[in-house]
Structure 1
Amino acid sequence: MRLGFVGAGAITEAIVTGLLREGARETDILLSPRGADVAGRLANRHPGAVRIAADNQAVLDGCDMVFVAVRPQIVREVLAALRFKDTHVVVSLVAMLSLDELAPLVAPAARVLRAIPLPAAAEGRSPTALMPPDPTVAALFGRVGTVTEVSDPAAFDALAAASGIMAAHFSMAAAVAGWLTEQGLPQDAARDYVGRILSGLARTAEASPATDFAGLAREHTTPGGLNEQLERQLGDSGAFEAMRAGLDGLHRRIREGG
């Protein structure tokens, strides 16, 4: 299947890199000239597998599956200028654009989906939300990680909100690493130490799918120990409730479309 990307930003780069990380399994990936740096980098890295189209319409004319990966602020303007075919499979990666809003913009294409791939697709580790379920598209995203398929728009919106924790996660790590440097540890060593703790925890979670996160927290808590003290202090300060409130805010914004 020939793949086309309208928009060539960070997520496009992550998906294409992930798809081709073990060799060029796709014979023809067409990239929009929008995002020239990313498109040029991918074309140079994967000659013969990745080409830069003359314009967005040329992407559509040369592909079977179209990934829409432009900013929400300009997506309607971009799509309005394009002519889709009824045979196109259209996968929108645009946040806060519902299927009901997307469908008339890409008519007569009838096979229209939404997906939320994450930057970890580049390493084949993205948890991608997909709506509605589709075996072909799910198999494609399965090559860059795992896929959670849902039919309910409310569930998809909730998954979209949960994907908003990435910057907060790294900011928490930055706070810990910064505290270590204040105690005299070199910055590089602090960053490496905190990164390895988080990496180890992620691997533990992946290796224990039958244990929920509350159970993992208990397993990492010794009564009277350091982990118990910090978790209790964060809980007493309202940090975990603030996370829930923040997710509620993201969910409202997504459902309201802006």
Structure 2
Amino acid sequence: MEYSFGFVGVGTMNAAIVRGIATLPAPPKSLDNQAVVDASDVVFVGVLPRLGEEVLRALRFSERHTVRACCAPVPPASVVRAIPLPPVAKQRGACVMTPRHAPVAALFSKLGTVVEVDSEEEMRKMIGITCLMGQLYAQQLAAQSWLQEQGVDAGAAARWVGAVYHTVSYDSATPGPDTFASLVEEQTPGGLNEQVLREMREAGASLALRDSLDDPLGHAAQGRLHGEGRTGRLVVVSEATPQRQTWPAPGFSLSAVPPTPHDTCDEVSVILIGLR
């Protein structure tokens, strides 16, 4: 069974996905918005709500088309929710999604690691881990700054810190349930790695990290996350959504799911899935 994927509205998130797909060994051809419509029976529009009418009025639809405009949160039975991280642009990304959906998982598996969970509750908890990027970069910056304070050239310090973090993460890239615990226990008693680990624990670093995840979890439970950067959700609609209305000319229909008061994401990206 062959699926076609189309994108209308290419913000930060969709742009990263498209770049990742476009640089695959056998990338699909790219289309403009009208070409996406012409090649599809069902079109999902993923642009900011304020741009929806402008985008749709510029497109030509026929009687065979069904148009669905979506904004998260949407009832779980109607959507596959996925949170891909920007390195999907280089096929090195990570994506968590719910519920399990073979075509969507197959797409993102080409762009990195896919983790599928069975419920919205699990999804909310998984999203919080994406908030650890900033603290990881801050830790690397602290290590680079320490090297520079010891007289090491800034460029060499940055390259070495980046290389070390990349190297030591190799063993944990495809973990099982006990991988992280085993790697921690491998540190030689009395060695320098064990000493740094012990001192960081005594300083409360591990507890602080665990506590810091409680705040994103609370926000995710309300359908929102916030931070210094842009936030976004990917919503992949694969079934009919519950609301339907005519838009704006006869001959095709729009299934609209309005945002809720808690929906504060900067952009909503939607992938169209067409069955061929």
Q: TM-score, normalised by structure 1?
A: 0.71
Cα drift, residue 66 of structure 1: 4.1
Determine which of 183, 188, 200 is the counterpart of 2:155.
188
Q: Which has the higher strand share?
A: 2
Which residue of structure 2 lines up, in the alignment, with residue 35 of structure 1?
none
- The SS at the match of 1:99 is coil
Moved more, 15-24 or 134-143: 15-24
Which residue of structure 2 lines up, in the alignment, with residue 9 of structure 1?
11
- The SS at the match of 2:151 is coil
* Distance in 1 of aligned mates of 2:164 and 2:192: 15
Which residue of structure 1 lines up, in the alignment, with residue 190 of structure 2?
224
* Distance in 2 of aligned mates of 1:25 and 1:143: 11
Cα drift, residue 86 of structure 1: 8.6
* Distance in 1 of aligned mates of 2:27 and 2:161: 36
Q: How many residues align?
A: 215
Distance 1:88 1:149, change over 3 A: farther
Contact 1:88 1:111 in 2 (8 A): no
Which residue of structure 2 lines up, in the alignment, with residue 235 of structure 1?
201
Aligned counterparts, 1:1-258, within 5 A: 1-26=3-28, 49-53=29-33, 63=40, 66=44, 68=46, 75-78=48-51, 97-100=72-75, 111-206=78-173, 209=176, 211-219=178-186, 221-258=187-224
Distance 1:8 1:217, change over 3 A: same
* Distance in 1 of aligned mates of 2:43 and 2:103: 10
Match of 1:21, as an amino acid? T
- Which runs of 5 or more residues in structure 2 are unaligned? 225-276
Contact 1:18 1:124 in 2 (8 A): yes
- The SS at the match of 1:15 is helix
* Distance in 2 of aligned mates of 1:88 and 1:189: 53
- The SS at the match of 1:113 is strand
Cα drift, residue 59 of structure 1: 5.8
Contact 2:85 2:95 in 1 (8 A): yes
* Distance in 2 of aligned mates of 1:239 and 1:205: 20
Match of 2:23, as an amino acid? R
Q: Which has the higher helix share?
A: 1
Moved more, 81-90 or 242-251: 81-90
* Distance in 2 of aligned mates of 1:25 and 1:192: 32
Cα drift, residue 189 of structure 1: 0.5
- The SS at the match of 2:7 is strand
Cα drift, residue 231 of structure 1: 1.1
Aligned sequence identity (%): 32
Q: TM-score, normalised by structure 2?
A: 0.67
- The SS at the match of 1:50 is coil
Deviation digits for residues 166-198 of structure 1, max 9, x if unmatched?
Answer: 121111101111111111000110011111111
Contact 1:180 1:190 in 2 (8 A): yes
Match of 1:217, as an amino acid? V
Q: CA RMSD in A?
A: 3.1
**Larger Rg computed on CA atoms:** 2
